[in-house]
Amino acid sequence: EIVLTQSPATLSLSPGERVTLSCRASQSIDKYLAWYQQKPGLAPRLLIYDASNRAAGVSARFSGSGSGTDFTLTISTLEPEDFAVYYCQQRGNWPPITFGQGTRLEIK
Amino acid sequence: EVQLLESGGGLVQPGGSLRLSCATSGFTFSSYAMIWVRQAPGKGLEWVSTISASAGSKYYADSVKGRFTISRDNSRSTLFLQMDSLRAEDTAVFYCAKGSVSTWAILDFWGQGTLVTVSS
């Protein structure tokens, strides 16, 4: 089973700042990583798939990069609605589909 | 507009059973793989099960294998999860999700979730 490790666990930032979240896989998953955003009390929402492809309707301020074992999600300019928990998920070697433990992005 | 609506959650005693449903609309249900994901209170996301569009292939997490059964009714655009021998550690919000057009393992739309509580 591929283990995904996200860092940091929590980030405290202000609107307008740039942020980069990290996700590391325990073995190579090529480009097969997705990112989801989850706000309190709501279902997750797909942001990025296959490392760098934005899902339909996702703002261009979200971008993803990486391959192999190291991946990043960058939010170019934080908006108030971006403060949420972000999960990475791999499909490079499934089943099982696995998720990272999440990074909480909170307002400073 | 794609919509997924879970139901069937509730309080059940350890060892009991529950059947979750996920009613869908806004897409051709019979063409897409469907997935169940759960989230224990205050915890992260855990994949539970995936079923192919035709129901010919089914996959389960080791934690639920032999206890949970995924199924679908393409004539009713509905996904199911039969959960037997429930344990306290199964307590979670259960989400159904739709697989993307290109692969079963990208979850492009999610329902709002249904809470399952296993407790005596």
| Interface contact flag, B47 A97, Cβ < 8 Å | yes
Q: What's the pLDDT score for residue A89?
A: 97
- Residues A11-49: tens digit of each pLDDT: 999 999 999 999 999 999 999 999 999 999 999 999 999
The whole-number pLDDT of residue A82 equals 97
Q: What is the pLDDT of residues B9-67, one digit of tens each?
A: 999 999 999 999 999 999 999 999 999 999 999 999 999 999 999 999 999 999 999 99
Distance CA B61, CA B45 (A): 13
Tell me the CA distances in angstroms from A95 to A90, B59, B64, one per residue in order: 10, 7, 13
Yes or no, beta carbons of A44 and B62 under 8 Å apart: no
The SS3 of residue B6 is strand
- The yes-or-no verdict on residue A57 having pLDDT over 90 is yes
- Return the residue of A nearest to B111 by Cα: A43
Q: What does the mean pLDDT of chain B come to?
A: 97
Q: Give B101's pLDDT tier (boundaries 50, 70, 90).
A: confident
Q: How many CB pairs under 8 A join A and B?
A: 59
Give the rounded distance of the alpha carbon of B57 from its chain centre: 15
Provide the token pair at A61.
């301020």
Chain B nearest C-alpha distance from A15 (Å) = 25
> Is B80 touching A (CB cutoff 8 A)?
no
Give residue A62's pLDDT band: very low, low, confident or very high (50, 70, 90).
very high
User: CB contact, 8 Å: B59 with chain A?
Assistant: yes
Q: How many CB atoms lie within 10 A of CB B3?
A: 12
Identify which of B47, B100, B112 has the shortest CB distance to residue A98. Answer: B47
CB contact under 8 A, B95 and A91: no
A58 to chain B, any CB pair closer than 8 A? The answer is no
pLDDT digits (tens, 9 = 90+) for A64-99: 999 999 999 999 999 999 999 999 999 988 888 999
**Rg of chain B (C-alpha set):** 13
